[in-house]
Amino acid sequence: MSVIFDFNGTIIFDKAIVEESWQQFFCHHTGVKYTVQQLNQYIHGFNPDVTIKHFIKDDFTKEQLQELIDEKESIYRQLCQKHQNGIYKLASGIEKFFDELKKRNIPFTIATAAPKSNVDFFYDSLKLDRWFKKDDIVCSDHSFPGKPNPEIYLRAAKRINTDIKDCVIFEDAKSGIQAAINAKAKTVVGVSSLLTKKQLQQLGADIIIENYQDLDLLLKIV
CATH number of the domain bearing residue 128: 3.40.50.1000
Task: Give me the half-sphere count of Cα atoms (radius 13 Å) on the Cβ side of residue 164.
Answer: 17
Residue where one domain finishes, among candidates 42, 57, 82: 82
| pLDDT exceeds cutoff 90 at 72 | yes
Q: How many CB atoms lie within 10 A of CB 165?
A: 10
| pLDDT exceeds cutoff 90 at 192 | yes
Q: Is 61 helix (H, G, I), strand (E, B) or coil?
A: coil
Predicted confidence band at 57 (pLDDT cuts at 50, 70, 90)? confident
Q: Hey, what's the torsion of the CAs at 191, 195, 199, 201, to 10 degrees? A: 0
For residue 60, the enclosing domain spans: 15-82
| pLDDT exceeds cutoff 90 at 9 | yes
- pTM (two decimals): 0.92
Q: For residue 69, what are the contacts with CB-CB under 8 A and spacing of at least 6?
A: 48, 49, 52, 115
Q: What pLDDT is recorded for position 60?
A: 87
Q: Are residues 44 and 8 in the same domain?
A: no
Residue where one domain finishes, among candidates 67, 82, 97: 82
The count of structural domains within the chain is 2
Q: Are residues 193 and 154 in the same domain?
A: yes
In order of 18, 55, 56, 70, 210, the CA distances from 31 in angstroms are 19, 12, 11, 19, 36
| pLDDT exceeds cutoff 90 at 142 | no
The CA angle 66-123-144, to the nearest 5 degrees, is: 40
Lowest-confidence region among 45-59, 151-165, 202-216: 45-59
Q: How far apart are CA 128 and CA 115, in angstroms?
A: 16
Q: What pLDDT is recorded for position 128?
A: 98
If you average pLDDT over every residue of the chain, what do you get?
95
Pick from 218, 209, 220, 13: nearest CA to 98: 218
